[in-house]
Structure 1
Amino acid sequence: MPPATRELPMRIRPRARAVGRGLRRALPACLALALAVPLYACRVELARPGAPTTWPAESVRRWQWQWQLTGALDPGVDADVFLLDPVATTAAQTAELRSRDRRLVCQVHVGSVLPTDPDADRFPARVRGSASRRPESSWLDVRQWDTLRPVLADRFRLCRGKGFGAVALADADGYAHRSGFPLDFDDALLFNRRLAELARALDLSPGLLGNTEQVTALAPDFDFAVDEECVRLRRCAKLLPFVEAGKPVFHVEYTGSTEDFCVETVGYGFASIRKDRDLDAWRVACPVL
């Protein structure tokens, strides 16, 4: 595991700062209590198969989660929510997780394509742009909705068919990168809203992965958010519209100690974990208070 580093505190709004001060006083005792009390004492009822995942507002601060995209899937991780790759994950694995009352979220890359994707040949050259954040991947021209919609709908149907009840939309922020297309903020807003509507039409709960610059505009359209490294990047406050609406924020840091960043993110109301960047089974979770 990389050596732990202590992150500098970010500037936060007065209400969040006050919460953080209170937690710094209470966290040592609460941490011990959280480790001693079973995490599933307050579990809420899981949606039936074929229905979108629900996220009760009264449970927003209780979720524990796992994000695993590489390595052998560990179904025994002590988490309520699993964010997984829908291609690599089998229906048998999702059935086992559902039998344990786990909520299942599939990660779908909606704004980029890899040449090794099973459906790569369905994306014509005219919608493929510059290199995306993933090695060998290309950004997609999200303005070409009529071309992208049927392919993305099938990606969502794969999730639904394997037993997932929610979908996290990755790479939907090409406008903020050199995508090879003249994409702007409004192009991305329209694309994301169309995706959220498409997910709901296919009985999936939509979640926003990244794209923090559009959170304020998109929080009403999505049921949850997934964030990477908001503490290191000093942007956690941008995710507050989800928390204030009673919607979960699933957050991960790849550096630092949970003893440092949990105080801040638990204060915000996030479900936070420490992971390695390859997103294998290893994790350390912040306590649920």
Structure 2
Amino acid sequence: MSGRGRAGGRPALLLAALLLVVAGCTGDTSPVPGPPPAAARWVPRPGTPWQWQLDGRVDPRADVPVYDIDGFENTAGDVARLHREGRRVICYVNAGAWEDFRPDRDDFPASVRGRPNGWAGERWLDIRRLDVLRPLMERRLDMCRRKGFDAVEPDLMDGYLHDTGFPLVAADQLAYNRMLARAARERGLSVGLKNDLPQIPALVGDFDFAVNEQCAEFGECGRLVPFVRAGKAVFHVEYALAPADFCAEARELGLSSMRKRPRLDTWRQAC
């Protein structure tokens, strides 16, 4: 979606209506800014330290240059504060599951809601339905851009590997992930590929960084090397392993690694 239009007459009325739709997730009726030039899009470099906090509003005390925080729970003011402190900020949104606790939950028709995914209040989405999901995800990306985020982390990008209640295949996931990447980049946001290790060779060119959980625990970190070779960061966490069990390999591969609690609060142990 775009916040551009001309003043006066019917076009102005259409513009006002469009802005109200775009702002539905947050209640913010301020215009969505236009994207910066493509060359200005941020691409984090391998080994960049980061903080990942999704349990509410951000605590800015971690001394790292990159924060990945919840796009709904944090305000433009929170993002601006991190920017003033020299940080880049990633907007977390769930792209693969419906969440019954989000303000836009009623915009998702029952036909695209599948089986529970193991997290309270969440159900897998039928990612084949680009006609339904594209505009909904574009509104979320507009929210991220309006709040001033530098990038977006769309979560649950590998539904085809799970029992979603829909007959998803790899081609469905490729199409959906590329749609999200294009929509983010059109808005001047860099975009991260979350997990989906089997499709990294096909998608590394479409994404600006990767976010991974538990590749060391499952012996899969080597599959993320294409991002590092392309000069793009791999933001990586482990939950069950101690840093002594994965940090040496992470450093060797060029990953940005730390240990976190599964609830993703402020606690972190960095490599």
- Same fold at TM > 0.5: yes
2:42 counterpart residue number: 54
Shift of 1:53: 4.4
8 Å contact 1:50–1:165 — kept in the other structure?
Answer: no
- Taking the TM superposition and a 5 Å limit, the aligned residue runs for 1:101-180 are 101-180=86-165
Q: Distance in 1 between matches of 2:239 and 2:167?
A: 32
8 Å contact 1:157–1:202 — kept in the other structure?
Answer: yes
8 Å contact 2:259–2:269 — kept in the other structure?
Answer: yes
Task: Give the alignment's Cα RMSD to 1 decimal.
Answer: 1.5
SS at match of 1:220: coil
8 Å contact 1:71–1:281 — kept in the other structure?
Answer: no
The alignment-based identity, stated in percent, is 45
Aligned length: 235
Q: 1:133 to 1:222 in 2, by over 3 A?
A: farther
Q: Distance in 1 between matches of 2:229 and 2:104?
A: 38
Shift of 1:259: 2.6
- With normalisation by structure 2, the TM-score equals 0.83
CA deviation string 1:3-56 (max 9, x = no partner)? xxxxxxxxxxxxxxxxxxxxxxxxxxxxxxxxxxxxxxxxxxxxxx96464126
1:211 counterpart residue number: 196
Q: 1:209 to 1:155 in 2, by over 3 A?
A: same
Structure 1 unaligned segments of length 5 or more: list them.
1-48
- Taking the TM superposition and a 5 Å limit, the aligned residue runs for 1:9-158 are 51=36, 53-55=41-43, 59-61=45-47, 63-70=48-55, 73-158=58-143
Amino acid across the alignment from 2:42: T
Q: Distance in 1 between matches of 2:259 and 2:56?
A: 17
Q: Of the two structures, which has the highest relative contact order with CA contacts closer than 8 Å and spacing of 6 or more?
A: 1
Q: 1:267 aligns with which of 242, 252, 256?
A: 252
1:251 counterpart residue number: 236
1:230 counterpart residue number: 215
Amino acid across the alignment from 2:254: G
Shift of 1:255: 2.2
1:191 counterpart residue number: 176
Q: Distance in 1 between matches of 2:50 and 2:234?
A: 10
Structure 2 unaligned segments of length 5 or more: list them.
1-33
2:186 counterpart residue number: 201
- With normalisation by structure 1, the TM-score equals 0.78
1:181 counterpart residue number: 166
Amino acid across the alignment from 1:105: I
Q: Distance in 2 between matches of 1:84 and 1:284?
A: 17
Shift of 1:143: 1.0
